[in-house]
Amino acid sequence: MKLIFENWNNFLEEDKSNKPLVVVYFGGFKPPHKGHLAVVEEYLSMSDVQAIYILFGSKTRSSSDGSVVIDAETAKRLWGLLLKDLPKDKVIVKIATKDNPIGEAAEMAWDERLEGKGSLRALDQKNHIMAKCSTH
């Protein structure tokens, strides 16, 4: 986990605005697991992070033999179990309204409902920074 967050921390050091951050953490997350939870917990431990949106697509995924099928609602319930001990006002789980959460994550950077919450970062589940913008 250190390597992943080294990149994130370097990115934060480049942003000297000292504004609170809103993170959009997006991906398939079918299923979400303890590794994904560790990423969310690490973001929450950063004093600059005000809120984290977990965003994933509605596409159903299944195991290679088809014996395990996970749809968006199941993934959302699994996230609920993983996040049960974390502050609900800081971690928001959202099923993307589009087939692919990437476009929606980018759109969230311009969402007026997030205005006034500081800078927004959209990261995929491998922690690649996809969008960076400041809201006003």
Prior bond of 101 cis (ω within 30°)? no
Give residue 124's pLDDT band: very low, low, confident or very high (50, 70, 90): low
Nearest to 32 by CA among 70, 85, 86: 70
Domain that holds residue 115: 2-134
Give residue for tokens 């969008």: 131
Both tokens assigned to 79: 């996230």
d(CA 45, CA 39): 10
**Residue range 114-131: mean pLDDT, rounded:** 54
Domain total of the chain: 1
d(CA 34, CA 94): 18
What's the pLDDT score for residue 2?
46
What CATH code is carried by the domain that includes residue 119?
Answer: 3.40.50.620
57/136: higher pLDDT? 57
117/30: higher pLDDT? 30
Cβ–Cβ under 8 Å, residues 61 and 33: no
Both tokens assigned to 25: 């953490």
Give residue 3's pLDDT band: very low, low, confident or very high (50, 70, 90): very low
Q: What percent of the chain has pLDDT over 70?
A: 65
Both tokens assigned to 125: 């589940």
Give residue 12's pLDDT band: very low, low, confident or very high (50, 70, 90): low
d(CA 85, CA 76): 15
Eight-class DSSP state of 111: -
Lowest mean pLDDT, pick from 27-36, 40-49, 97-106, 121-130: 121-130
Give residue 112's pLDDT band: very low, low, confident or very high (50, 70, 90): low
Helix (H) or strand (E) holding 130, with range, is strand 129-134
Instruction: Give residue-wise pLDDT tens across range 23-51.
Output: 888 888 999 999 999 989 988 998 878 88
